[in-house]
Chain A
Amino acid sequence: MADQREFFYRRLHSFLGVVPIGIFLTQHLIVNHFAVYGEESFNKAAGFMAGLPFVLLLEIFIIYLPILYHAILGVYIAFTANYNTKRYGFFRNWMFALQRITGLITLVFIAWHVWETRVQIGLGNADLDYSLMEGILTNPFMFWFYIVGVIAAVFHFANGLWSVLVSFGITQTPKSQKIATYACILVFFVISYLGVRTLIQFAYGI
């Protein structure tokens, strides 16, 4: 029997994108949204997350390792495709291309974001509180960098959700795939709203 490793790697890649990474993304943006209710609310919510038992282990196994795996295989996948939206401008082909482009943007964004927040907090150069994010986001360049990064990440998640439904053979008929498209568009807008709203709060205090 020839090798079946690739199949397993790809399925694991799809699965990790939703569990745990997608779940983490959603949770992260919901918790951050507490900023909209005031500085104290945010500090309390963020403090609760940071105070979870075995937080470093949770971070490593639920966030860092899955994202690292997803990112490495993802970059390989993105660079082994021949993009042809010019010749075949179908909706799904555009989604295919955007999925890979937003994946690369998200990777750059996450690397910077983790360096600027989690790593600096870990090194003792910063404290996890409202003012850390306020300090970053009042810079207009960083504000727009974060807007692009957050929207790219949410798009990648929402559209990835659609793909996972196909890759796991849940949505087979064109009709179910179409309804899944609408559902994923909804997911995209709802979660994007949470993320963008929070960024505006940090940047402009409104």
Chain B
Amino acid sequence: MAEQKTVTFIITRQDSPDSTPYEEIFEVPYRKNMNVISGLMEIRKNPVNAKGENTTPVQWDMNCLEEVCGACSMVINGTPRQSCAALVDHLETPIRLEPMSTFPVVRDLIVDRERMFDALKQVKAWIPLDGTHDLGPGPRMPEKKRQWAYELSKCMTCGVCLEACPNVNDKSNFIGPAAISQARLFNSHPTGEMFASDRLEGLMEDGGIGGCGNSQNCVQVCPKGIPLTTSIAAMNRATNIQAFKNFFGSDNAH
């Protein structure tokens, strides 16, 4: 029988949030059409590194396995992307896997994206609809608006845009592009619009939209093709107008 073909993975590992990262190499049996996650599953099945030593299985995060949840994001050969959508046949070998550097590492390839959820809270990226009685159907949305808003709704909070942003780092408190675009999404919704100013105020808070430096990496790397820089510019305009309304006074400052 011909010798089994293998794929080499070089993985940056870290045993705990505070321990120092190290690299470990694995030779994984090749299968046709395998993706990075199936490679990681092979390692989990047989946690032996390339030197033949027994080791702990590599930890990673995943959920949907079809590029809609964002949980499996990691840096693959230098590019942050979803490991479930990264096909081994399309990658250069050896395949290097690292955790995203913008987020605190929990273990191995698992990072803590909590800052993204804090950012969504800061800009109130939801539609408050609590009531004790039936409010009836909401206002309708123009079809054209629905079309572009739908694009924004594809965000899966994966963190790739934050990873690529030079202004999201531990020296700054910038919330990053994703939440800015989400504020625009919910402000475009006919019911969400009633709380538009709350989201704009959130964007104007420290760490908000003012932290954007227009490097525009986000729009280049977003796996969902979300027009992040258009969203940022739109929210720039909206927050500036809101700031004027707040200062000079306006009946339409809601």
Interface residues of A (CB under 8 A from B): 1-11, 77, 79-84, 87-88, 90, 92-93, 95-97, 99, 162-163, 166-174, 177
Contacts and interface: CB of A to CB of B under 8 A. Distances in A.
B230 A172 contact: yes
Contact of B78 (A5, A87, A99, A177): A87
A77 B174 CA distance: 12
A7 B205 CA distance: 7
Given A7-B243, A8-B243, A96-B215, A170 B237 contact: yes
Contacts of A172: 230, 233-234, 237
Interface in B128-175: 164, 166-167, 169, 171-172
Contact of A90 (B78, B220, B230): B220
Given A84-B217, A96-B215, A169-B238, A7 B209 contact: yes
A44 B85 CA distance: 69
B232 A166 contact: yes
B214 to A, nearest CB: 5
Nearest to A163: B214
Interface SS of chain B? helix
Given A10-B210, A92-B215, 17 more contacts: A4-B208, A79-B171, A82-B169, A87-B164, A90-B216, A92-B216, A97-B215, A166-B232, A167-B214, A167-B236, A168-B237, A169-B234, A169-B235, A169-B236, A169-B237, A172-B233, A177-B229
B43 to A, nearest CB: 26
A170 B164 CA distance: 25
A162 B216 CA distance: 13
Given A3-B205, A4-B205, A88-B220, A81 B213 contact: yes
A169 B214 contact: no
A92 B210 CA distance: 18
Interface in B63-97: 78
B201 interface: yes
B190 interface: no
B227 interface: yes
B220 A77 contact: no
13 contacts: A3-B206, A7-B204, A7-B205, A7-B208, A11-B210, A81-B166, A82-B169, A87-B164, A92-B215, A95-B215, A162-B214, A168-B236, A174-B230
A1 B201 CA distance: 8
Nearest to A4: B204
By Cβ-Cβ distance, the 8 closest A-B pairs, closest first, are A169-B237, A96-B215, A10-B210, A92-B216, A169-B236, A7-B210, A172-B233, A2-B205
B21 interface: no
Interface residues of B, number: 37
A95 B227 CA distance: 19
Contacts of A5: 206
A88 B221 contact: yes
A3 B212 CA distance: 17
B211 interface: yes
Contacts of B240: 11, 168-169
Interface string B174-214: 00000000000000000000000000010011111111111
Given A81-B167, A93-B217, A177-B229, A6 B78 contact: no
Interface in B216-230: 216-217, 220-221, 227, 229-230
Given A87-B78, A173-B230, A6 B206 contact: yes
